[in-house]
Structure 1
Amino acid sequence: MLNKSTVSGFPSYPLRRSLFVLRRSALQGFSAAVLAAASPLRKLEDEVLCSVCLDYLKDPVTIDCGHVFCYHRIIKVCESAQQPLCCSLCKTAFKKENIRHVWQMASIAENIWRMKADEERQPREDRPLAQRAEQLCGQHLEKLHYYCKDDQRIVCVTCREFQEHRHHAAALLEKAAQLYQGKIRNHLKILKGDRDRIQNFQSTGEDEIQALLAKFQSHKQGRAAVFEQGHQFLRERGQYLLEWLEGTERQLTGGRNSHVAKGSAEVIRLETLISELEKKARQPALELLQVDDEERNGVQG
């Protein structure tokens, strides 16, 4: 049975600091090379991360294929997995009894962890420009590495080691962000679908409106043509009626003038007869009768 290390996680901060001071002389060249550039340190940092928990190796052990994991993580894999056991990285089979502690890797992981912490404690003005732009812990002025799921806060390495967060569920920012990125992608998918549907609706509605407008314009032009034809007919009919009325008026005026002329002539003739008869009526009886006898004789002769 494999004996678990007496150090289940990282040592306490004073002990870690003491170990770091003792090893500084032996690792001085290594530390100077790592601290000289940020990218090599990040590459080394990736080498001491457990591929199962994505955290710094704690009590590291190696299996038959040579890959290294946290002791408690690989033990959980052994207890939960079915036989045969396989490496999660290369799928090579391994045996539980062949699990071996890698003390050198534990020392390297601790030193890289401390160098990373010391680098982040460096005064902000002395850091490279790219590091100055990074957000830092307001309490410890260290880079924010973890997301505390219990408190829903972003914390630095030192915050995580404190009592407040030590027993909380935490994950590296990249891993914690994956969940929210997935939710964001799902929301984006829904929103883009809604946007596409609205755009399709707008496009379809615009096409329908354009078709209705074209139909309306055609109907409008047709009605305008009908109205114009009606107006033309009415104008022509009105002109005809006007000419007919004017002709009728001329006929009535001419008839009236002729009737007036004839009536006037008849009145003159009648007035002449009346005047003659009135004159006869004023003649003496003898003269009147003589004239009457002469007229009768003239008629008989």
Structure 2
Amino acid sequence: MDAQLSLQIKCSVCLGDFTDPVTLPCEHSFCRQCITVHMQTSRGVAVCPECRRPFTEEDLRTSRLLRNITEAMRKHLTVQKSEANSEDVAISLRVQEVLNELMCPEHNEKLRLFCETDQVLICVICRDGEKHRGHIFKPANEAAPIKKDSVRDALDFLSRDNRELVVLTQRQSDEIDKTKEKSGLIATQISSQFEEMYQFLRKRKEEVEKLVKSEEKKALEIMQKKQCLIQRRMMAGTELEVLIQSAVDIPEPDKFLQWWSEKGYFVTEGMKQREIGENASQNIKYHSYGEGLYVIPDTLFFGPYETHLQFFVWKEMLRSIKPRR
């Protein structure tokens, strides 16, 4: 119980009893000097050694209650230590009483001696026997307090060791929390940077698609104009073909000649090419409705965006990347 109370007046920084204790807003308490040194050696904002909550020098509050409790506990433990010495005497007496009841199973004598060599209780007959010849002996009531002090030393060591393990556990927990926090920040940063790349790629995609549509519109405009001209020539030629075919199909000579007089002569003469000079060909040549017409070929080409789109966009994206500090 006293050991547990003693832990309550220990500073988790120096592991000693509180000296001029102060309390942080998070309700954790430390020696004023310990927390001041902690603040001076902290990088950036100081945080509570226990819970990692940030605080400033103005947040330190003198804890009179804890100081009074610490002083009271010190007095109490001093009294307890004094009583412990008295207890050793009492132990010796109790040991003597117990020894009076303990009997040697071999000689049926009271176990009044302690063999330091074999670390066992013995009787006076055992002491004189061959088994314990040359050994070192002490009265049992003298050996008991000495052995109990040894046990107390082990207990004190375990108490200190366990306190250090508590501190190590807390520190490891703090590092785990820092790792989780750092991992979350890095994940957010990675997500943000990938979103920037997505935005860049979406923007470039829209720009390249607009370029494709614009070039397509220009090319189609020229090609469609040419197609309209070809279609008009084709319709004119088709209408004339139908007209002449209907005349050829007239069976009556007089009606055919009447058509010839009214339309046929002018139509056929209008189709003929005129050759001037002595070398004019005797063969009749007609004007072609397809004369001067040609097909505009597909020449749509987007250079590197058509052949090496990924490579060039990647180079553009590299130029836009700014290293994070």
TM range (shorter): 0.3 to 0.5
Could you say which structure has the larger radius of gyration? 1
TM (norm. structure 2) is: 0.36
TM (norm. structure 1) is: 0.38
